[in-house]
Structure 1
Amino acid sequence: MVLRTAGPWPALFSYLRPHITNRDDMLPKYKRILLKLSGESLMGENSFGMDPNVIAGYAQDIKIITDLGVQVAIVIGGGNIYRGMNEQETGIERAQGDYMGMLATVINGMALQSGLEKIGVYTRLQSAIKMEQVAEPYIRRRAIRHLEKGRVVIFGAGTGNPYFTTDTAGSLRAIEIKADVILKGTRVDGIYTADPEKDPDAKKFEQITFSEVISRSLKVMDMTAFTLCQENNLPIIVFDMNKPGNLLRVVTGDNVGTLVK
C-alpha cells in the first residue's frame, strides 16, 4: 500500500510505518464508527473555507483505518462556510439560515469525498435533502449496506430539519446505523474541567460518565445530541483529530482523548 503525505502531515507516514508492516497484529477495537468533524476543522490556518492539506491529512487517516476493516461513517459541520445561528446579526430567519448551513455541510462532504477518492477510498455521500445530481438521498438500509461493503459513508445536510445541529445529526445517524461509538474529532485532546486554551490549570478527564458531564455543565455536544447518546448507551470519544495517527490509535484501543460512557 502506498501512502501519500501532504502539507503538515509528514509525521503520519513515520508513525504508521511499523503498524502497516505488522498489520495482522492491528486489531480494531471498534467495527463501525461515526466520525464527527466540525466544519471549522477543515479551515486549518485559514479564516474561511478549506485547507486542502487538512482534507488530505484527514483522508489519509481515514484510509488507514478502513484498510484495517473499520466501517466508517462521517458527519461534518458547515461552520467554515456558513453558520446561521444568529438571526439578529445576519438578518436571515433562523430556519432559512439553518438550511443554508445544511448546504454548507454538503459542500464539505463533497470536498472530503474528493480527498478520499483521490487516494483510492470508495465513498458514498448521502444527503438528508434531495439533490440527486451530487448525492444519494439518505436511506438507512442503503447506508448500512455501503458500510458493509467497505465504503465510507458521508452524511450531509444534517438531519434535514432546521433547529437541529450537526452534533444531533451525528448522534442520530450513529444510532440509526448501529455504530459502536461516536468519535468527535476536535482541536483539543479530550474533555477538561475548563477550556484548556483559556485556563492553564484545566484538568483533563481520561473517562467520564454522561451524568457527570451534565452535572458539571461540560460542553461535549449540544444537549439534544448528548441525550440521544445517553439514552441509547452510545459511547463518545472526544480526541484531537489534528494530530496525525490519533484516529488509528483511538480505533485500536489506545488511551487517547476522553471516553464518555
Structure 2
Amino acid sequence: MQTRVTPFRPRRAGRLILLALGACLSAAPARAIDGGASASRGDALAQATVGIGTVTRPDDRYRLTRCSGVLIAADLVLTAAHCLNGDPVGAIVVFYRGSQAVSPVYTARTIARYSPDPGDLSAEAAGITLADLSLDLAVLRLSAPVRDRAPVPLASSPRRVPAALRMAGVGLSQRGVGRLRTARLVPLAASSTGLTIARAEGARVCLGDSGGPVVGQDRRGLFVWGVASAVITARAPCGNLVVVAPAAQVFGERAPGRLARSAE
C-alpha cells in the first residue's frame, strides 16, 4: 500500500548536504548538540540517554565511532545502525548524571539491525528525496542489566506524529566523553511509516549525536519516537534539520522483550 507524507510546515532547504551523524577519529572533533540545553539530573530523557563508542578495524588501523543511544530495556540500547558498521571489534556504553558521564562503563554487542521502510516523501517536503536519506536502527545488548535507570518505551504507532519532539545527544569528543545536551524539535514533515523530518529549535545537531533518542510525551510519560539518523545541512558538521528513523514500525510485536507500549 502506498504511503503518504503528512506535512507540518514544509519549506525548501536549498542546496543541502546530507550527512550521517556518526564520527571517527580520522574526522574533525565531534561536537555535542550546539545550543539547546544542558541535561538536568531529574530529566527522564537524560537518565536514559547513553554515549556509545565502537572500535572497528577496516584496515591495519583501529578506528573509533562515536554515537548516542537510548536505554529501551534493562539490558538493551537503541541506536543508529550505521554507528555499528564494519563489524565492530568492541563497543562500550556510558551513562550520564545530568550532563556529565558517570561510572560504570558497560560493554555491549549488536543483537539486531533494521532498515525501516521510509514510505513516500514528496520533493517539496523539506526539499529532499528519500533516496538521499540514511535510515537505520540497531539494538545493543549490555554486558549487564542496568538497575538504576528507567528505560523509555517505544511509540506504539508510527502514524501519530507528536506535535512536539525532543532529542538528546552526547557528541563524544576526541578528548573523552562529551556533555549530554537536549534540544526541542519541531516536526516539518512525516510519512505514514513514521519517517520524520524536524527542525531543531535554538540548536544544531552535530557529529556524534547520531542514534540519539527523539522522544514525544503523553499522559503516560515519555516514549521513543525514533533516533536521529542524519542531519541536513549546507554547512557541515552541524545542521538544524534532522532526519528521524522511526522505531515503532520496526519493533511492535517483534520487539525484543515486548518493548513497544500497547496502544490505548
Task: State the TM-score, normalizing by the size of structure 1.
Answer: 0.26
Q: In proportion to residue count, which structure has more helix?
A: 1
Q: Which has the higher strand share?
A: 2
Normalising by structure 2, report the TM-score: 0.25
Rg larger in 1 or in 2?
Answer: 1
